[in-house]
Structure 1
Amino acid sequence: MQNTYTISYPEFEIHCIDKSDKDAILCNDIHAKILMLRYFSEGDYMKATGSFLSYRDLPWGEVYYRQFYGRCIMRLAKTYGNRQDVFKRLIEKLAGIRQKYGEVSYEFEVFRELKLCFILWSGDEEFPPSAQILFSDNFPMAFAAEDVAYLGDVILDYMKQEEFDI
């Protein structure tokens, strides 16, 4: 998320190189710390092929889909579906690359070679805003489906925090 971190092993202490630890999300968010620990202790590195998967396409994704949908997809839709200008500025700050999906969509890297694509559609008087989150096809090698749900929380928390700086 546009910062460089060091992580010590076996202590798993996380420190931000680019700013103070107190201002860096990975140093303060327990879910972010857990994700980093799980990635380094259980995940495998694999280069992505360029394809994306929905959450349901992840192993065990169908089992956890309702939780992920409520915690991440609906939160993304409700927070930014009708505020796409704010969404664009935040994602561009994360070095997001504009994509052709939905009304507005961006692909961005969260870990080396692990990419997400956030897609939004605005609401109107008939339908509420909607969203989709896609994952690079190498995510199943790096994280379990329940960890990916935490990743959505971490990124959306980060975006909320960064809104004050744009």
Structure 2
Amino acid sequence: MLSNYEKLSEIWREKFMQLDQSTFARKLLGVRLEKEQVLFSYFGRNYRINRFNGEISGESKSVPDAKLKLLFYNLFWYSKEGAKLSGHWVPFRQVKNASPFGPAFETHVLKPFARTFNGQLANLEEAAEKLGGTKLRQGDAGYQISSFDCIPIQFLFWDGDDEFEAQANILFDYSVTDFIHVESTVSLASDGVARLAEEAGLQVIGNF
């Protein structure tokens, strides 16, 4: 029996096939059209979509599950014509229409991020470098990392000590919802934390 994510993914595969592929390839940085495939990357891993049936596949370490496929289809469907980054970075709660999801984002994304890398500052920095991150001045460790090439995200971390617990924040460009649905930004953040943990050889502490 198909899971709900698998059923939704199939619906969105069919919606993807309705799109003008040359249009989204033009407006989304890092998306490339080849004769039979749409090529793109996500947190440093390469994926492709068959242009004739909409099926998504990846490399041996990046075989996408139904939930991830759904995220990919959402990028192509929701990206707006003329979408561009504003250069104005905001925490999740200030992303357009994100405020209702703010408390859950704090609990299920930011706290696991902070707990996972508490006392692991060097490992976090090394992991961010592996993902092509650009070092920032904020935090004990702050890096800007591309999820999709068109959607960079800033991951900020302050390590804990005897008096204070580790703290973390994740910033988005204010125009992120011109590229993808607001609910999908939560997946971008949690996937980024998971990839950082994976590259650092750590298990995420907490549930997304």
Q: Give the TM-score range, shorter chain.
A: 0.7 to 0.9
Asked which structure has the greater RCO (Cα within 8 Å, sep 6+), the reply is: 1
Alpha-carbon shift at residue 156 of structure 1 (Å): 2.2
Report the counterpart of residue 15 of structure 1 in structure 2: 57
1:76 counterpart residue number: 113
The partner residue of 1:36 within 51, 67, 72 is 72
- Tell whether the 8 Å contact from 1:56 to 1:62 is kept in structure 2 after alignment: yes
Quick check: which has more Rg, 1 or 2? Answer: 2
For 1:137 and 1:62, how far apart are their aligned partners in 2? 13
Give me the identity figure in percent: 22
* Deviation, structure 1 residue 43: 2.3
Does 62-71 or 41-50 show the bigger shift? 41-50
**Offset at residue 129 of structure 1 (A):** 0.3
Show the counterpart of 2:134.
97
**Corresponding residue number in structure 2 for 1:142:** 179
Shift of 1:60: 2.0
Out of 137, 145, 152, the residue aligned to residue 189 of structure 2 is 152
Q: Distance in 2 between matches of 1:79 and 1:60?
A: 28
Which of 15, 20, 44 is the equivalent residue of 1:2? Answer: 44
2:77 partner letter: S
Q: Residue type of the partner of 2:79?
A: G
User: Does 2:90 correspond to 1:48?
Assistant: no
Cα offset for 1:10? 6.5
Assess, with a 3 A threshold, how the Cα gap between structure 1 residues 101 and 29 changes in structure 2: closer, same or farther: farther
C-alpha displacement at 1:9, in angstroms? 4.6
Given residue 136 of structure 1, which amino acid in structure 2 is its aligned partner? D
Q: Quick one: distance in 2 between partners of 1:56 and 1:104?
A: 21
Which SS does the other structure have where 1:123 is aligned?
A: coil
Q: Distance in 2 between matches of 1:154 and 1:49?
A: 23
Count of residues in correspondence between the two structures: 159
* Mapping of residues 113-124 of structure 1, within 5 Å: 113-124=150-161
CA shift, 1:147, in A, is 1.2
Structure 2 gap ranges (5+):
1-42, 203-208
Cα distance between partner residues in 1 of 2:171 and 2:52: 32
Q: Are residues 112 and 44 of structure 1, via their aligned partners in 2, closer, same or farther at CA, if it must alter by over 3 Å?
A: farther
Q: TM-score, normalised by structure 1?
A: 0.85
CA contact (8 A) 2:152 2:172 kept: yes
Corresponding residue SS for 1:111:
coil
Greater helix share, 1 or 2? 1
Partner AA of 2:186 in structure 1: A
Unaligned runs of 5+ in 1: none
Cα distance change, pair 59–49 in 1 and its aligned pair in 2 (3 A)? closer
Q: Is the 8 A contact 1:116 1:135 kept in 2?
A: yes
